[in-house]
């Protein structure tokens, strides 16, 4: 997570936006809690405390959990019940997940607490916020969530830290005991009361947090894909005629029209494009990876738009079981099932694989002397001695192959748990984990395309690139030298990946064109 601190975000005054979640998770923005939300929590807490005194059993308040829901727990054992629930469910395994993912899931759990539908004390929400604001990040592990009954193990590790137990990382990344971190920050550990342990672990917050982070990343990468495609079209002496608005309007898919406009704007005023528009050009039409870029990128954009709609609905949700209803009932429900989020996480993995696949095909075309319209084989400096960018394409191809495997859906792979009480689960957490890997792979493939197209454009001299594509090429040249004898490529690829990931490629194009869509 970057050390840049964003302005504070008010939680509890309505559904948070995707941008607000990302600001807290990735950029360390502080949170403040709306007074009305805390007041509402106090009101619904009184309902839970009344039911706690009832000799009749109430799930999650005076009973066990899951398959043990019929077991009545006496009043004097209920605090132990809540603490034991958290300790036993903090059973994650594998690698530690990224700080921004843990902060995202904590932010979203806090948002649900502030809906006043969980029935827990305001003190718990205030302590949760204090932990976030102190930059204390519980250690959460890769495995442990089935995406149903909430992201149980990940959230339990966060709840454990709230109790002053387990392991956390400080704002500086130091690994310490939670008790020491809370003491250093002046935070008193929470002793959980009835219902509170359950409320802290019962939500889709991990998978939803990863979805919010993914949507933000993909918004940038889809526009970057339009930029890299335009550079490849130009470098391969392709036509910009197919991106005309009237042709795109014949198929009124929204995302397609956006991508076509971006590509057309990138190619505007290009001397290279103009150089082969005369009657001497005999090519009838370009290959699909050039001509159909708006159709593929646009379909990806529309899928992201659908994912955003699902995410926004989920951000407006109060996910817990049981839940305190608006009229004061405490009812069991199934809203913790992660299917809506899991499905779109899987959809996005398909999108990422396909956009990267098309990008890799353009990379390969620029390196092949039979198809690259007169460029040197592999864009090499001295043919036969130098390999040029041959193996950069191998790297892209290897990534694309991995992305195709990651596109296999996690959400169809339900597996029963909790003695068959939880007999169908979403695997949404797993869908989110693989999507994060896939997005990183897409950024790398697009970076290799940008790097390859930049070299190809240089090799077209004395013909010049257009203003926008040339600006991107010039930005690449600040970190990677132009054509020449073979050299160590891995650092150059890494440098361009950074330009893609931090928005520098997009910014370079925007300096010439204004904001791209």
Tokens standing for 268? 């505007």
Find the catalytic residue in 59, 128, 269, 488: 59
Q: Which domain holds residue 184?
A: 9-203
pLDDT on residue 71: 66
Together in a domain, 164 and 222: no
Select from 236, 235, 301 the least CA-distant residue to 262: 301
pLDDT band at 44 (very low <50, low <70, confident <90, very high): very high
Q: What is the mean pLDDT of residues 137-159?
A: 92
Q: Which has the higher per-residue pLDDT, 44 or 66? A: 44
Tokens standing for 23? 């600001």
Note if 143 is an active site residue: no
Together in a domain, 242 and 98: no
Together in a domain, 275 and 180: no
- Let me know: does 272 contact 234? Beta carbons within 8 Å: yes
Task: Determine the Cα–Cα distance for residues 478 and 170; give it in Å rounded to an integer.
Answer: 35
| pLDDT of residue 46 exceeding 70 | yes
Could you tell me whether strands 31-33 and 9-11 are parallel, antiparallel, or unpaired per DSSP bridges? parallel
481 preceded by a cis bond (ω within 30 of 0)? no
Total count of domains within the chain: 2
Tell which of 179, 203, 227 closes a domain. 203
**The domain spanning residue 31 has which CATH number?**
1.10.275.10
pLDDT band at 163 (very low <50, low <70, confident <90, very high): very high
pLDDT on residue 341: 96
| pLDDT of residue 335 exceeding 80 | yes
The answer to the question of residue 455 being in a domain is: yes
Together in a domain, 224 and 191: no
Tell which of 203, 232, 249 closes a domain. 203
What pLDDT digit, counting tens, does each position of 6-43 carry?
Answer: 789 999 989 999 999 999 999 999 999 999 999 999 99
| pLDDT of residue 118 exceeding 90 | yes
Together in a domain, 25 and 170: yes
The answer to the question of residue 3 being in a domain is: no
Tokens standing for 496? 């361009």
Q: Which has the higher per-residue pLDDT, 465 or 279? A: 465
State what percent of residues in the chain have pLDDT above 70: 93
What pLDDT digit, counting tens, does each position of 295-332 carry?
Answer: 999 999 999 999 999 999 999 999 988 899 989 888 88
| pLDDT of residue 281 exceeding 70 | no
Together in a domain, 21 and 140: yes
* C-beta neighbour count of 408 within 10 angstroms: 13
- Let me know: does 85 contact 59? Beta carbons within 8 Å: no
Together in a domain, 188 and 266: no
List of long-range contacts for 459-465, beta carbons under 8 Å, 24+ apart: 459/375, 459/376, 459/379, 459/483, 460/235, 460/272, 460/375, 463/271, 463/272, 463/275, 464/270, 464/271, 464/272, 465/231, 465/234, 465/270, 465/271, 465/272
The answer to the question of residue 334 being in a domain is: no
Tokens standing for 114? 């502030």
Tokens standing for 225? 């894909």
Together in a domain, 85 and 159: yes
| pLDDT of residue 3 exceeding 50 | no
pLDDT on residue 67: 54
The answer to the question of residue 446 being in a domain is: yes
| pLDDT of residue 78 exceeding 80 | no
What pLDDT digit, counting tens, does each position of 400-452 carry?
Answer: 999 999 999 999 988 777 767 777 788 899 999 999 999 999 999 999 999 99
| pLDDT of residue 277 exceeding 90 | no
Alpha helices by DSSP H, listed for 54-166, are 78-89, 99-113, 122-133, 152-162
pLDDT band at 284 (very low <50, low <70, confident <90, very high): low
Look over the chain and give the mean of its residue pLDDT values, rounded to a whole number: 92
Q: What residues contact 478, with CB distance under 8 A and at least 6 apart? A: none
pLDDT band at 64 (very low <50, low <70, confident <90, very high): low
| pLDDT of residue 280 exceeding 70 | no
Together in a domain, 61 and 170: yes
Cα angle value 99/2/441 (rounded, 5°):
70
Q: What's the gap between Cα 218 and its chain centre?
A: 8
Together in a domain, 358 and 507: yes
The b-or-e profile of 178-197 (16+ CB within 10 A means b, else e) is beebbeeeebeebebbbbbb
Tell which of 184, 203, 222 closes a domain. 203
The answer to the question of residue 401 being in a domain is: yes
Together in a domain, 122 and 262: no
State what percent of residues in the chain have pLDDT above 90: 79
| Cα-based distances in Å from 103 to 15, 193, 210, 308 | 17, 24, 10, 20
Q: Which residues pair with 422 in a beta bridge?
A: 417
Q: Which residues pair with 32 in a beta bridge?
A: 10
The answer to the question of residue 93 being in a domain is: yes
Residue 248's SS3 state is: helix
3-state secondary structure 306-365: HHHHHHHHHHCCCCCCCEECCCCCEECCCCCCCHHHHHHHHHHHHHHHHHHHHHHHHHHH
pLDDT on residue 63: 67
**The domain spanning residue 357 has which CATH number?**
1.20.200.10
The answer to the question of residue 336 being in a domain is: no
pLDDT on residue 2: 41
pLDDT on residue 1: 38
| pLDDT of residue 148 exceeding 90 | no
Longest dimension (CA), the chain: 91
Select from 285, 244, 288 the least CA-distant residue to 267: 244
Together in a domain, 295 and 416: yes
Q: Which residues pair with 143 in a beta bridge?
A: 93
Backbone φ and ψ for 186, nearest 5 degrees, come out as: 75, 30
The answer to the question of residue 324 being in a domain is: no
């Amino acid at each position: 997570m970057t050390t840049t601190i964003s302005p504070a975000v008010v939680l509890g005054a309505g559904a948070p936006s995707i941008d607000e979640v990302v600001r807290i998770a990735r950029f360390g923005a502080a949170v403040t809690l709306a007074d009305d939300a805390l007041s509402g929590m106090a009101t619904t807490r009184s309902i839970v405390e009344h039911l706690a005194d009832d000799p009749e059993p109430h799930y999650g308040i005076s009973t066990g959990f899951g398959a043990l829901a019929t077991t009545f727990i006496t009043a004097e054992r209920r605090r132990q019940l809540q603490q034991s629930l958290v300790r036993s469910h903090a059973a994650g395994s594998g690698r530690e997940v990224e700080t921004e993912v843990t902060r995202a899931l904590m932010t979203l759990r806090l948002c649900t607490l502030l809906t006043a539908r969980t029935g827990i004390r305001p003190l718990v929400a205030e302590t949760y916020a204090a932990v976030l604001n102190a930059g204390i990040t519980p250690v959460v592990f890769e495995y442990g969530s089935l995406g149903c009954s909430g992201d149980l193990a990940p959230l339990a590790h966060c709840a454990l830290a709230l109790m002053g137990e387990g392991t956390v990382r400080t704002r500086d990344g130091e690994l310490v005991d939670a008790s020491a971190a809370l003491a250093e920050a002046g935070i008193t550990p929470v002793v959980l009361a009835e219902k509170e342990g359950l409320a802290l672990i019962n939500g889709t917050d991990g998978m939803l947090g990863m979805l919010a982070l993914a949507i933000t990343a993909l918004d940038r990468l889809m526009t970057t894909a339009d930029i890299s495609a335009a550079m490849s079209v130009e470098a391969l002496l392709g036509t910009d005629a197919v991106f005309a608005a009237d042709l795109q309007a014949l198929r009124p898919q929204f995302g397609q029209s956006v991508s076509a406009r971006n590509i057309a704007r990138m190619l505007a005023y290009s001397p290279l494009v103009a150089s082969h528009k005369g009657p001497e050009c005999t090519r009838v039409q370009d290959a699909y990876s050039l001509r159909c870029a708006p159709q593929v990128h646009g379909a990806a954009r529309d899928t992201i738009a659908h994912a955003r709609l699902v995410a926004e609905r989920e951000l407006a949700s109060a996910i817990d079981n049981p839940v305190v209803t608006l009229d004061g009932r405490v009812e069991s429900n199934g809203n913790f099932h992660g299917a809506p989020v899991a499905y779109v996480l899987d959809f996005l993995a398909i999108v990422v694989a396909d956009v990267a696949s098309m990008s890799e095909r353009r990379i390969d075309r620029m390196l092949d002397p039979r198809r690259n319209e007169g460029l040197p084989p592999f864009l090499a400096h001295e043919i036969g001695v130098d390999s040029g960018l041959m193996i950069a394409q191998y790297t892209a191809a290897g990534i694309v192959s991995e992305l195709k495997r990651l596109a296999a859906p996690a959400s169809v792979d339900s597996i029963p748990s909790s003695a068959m009480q939880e007999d169908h689960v979403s695997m949404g957490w797993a869908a989110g984990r693989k999507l994060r890997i896939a997005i990183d792979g897409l950024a790398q493939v697009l970076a290799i395309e940008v790097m390859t197209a930049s070299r190809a454009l240089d090799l077209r001299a004395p013909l010049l690139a257009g203003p926008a594509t040339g600006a991107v090429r010039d930005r690449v040249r600040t970190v990677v030298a132009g054509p020449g004898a073979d050299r160590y490529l891995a650092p150059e690829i890494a440098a361009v990946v950074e330009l893609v990931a931090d928005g520098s490629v997009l910014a370079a194009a925007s300096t010439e064109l204004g904001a791209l869509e």
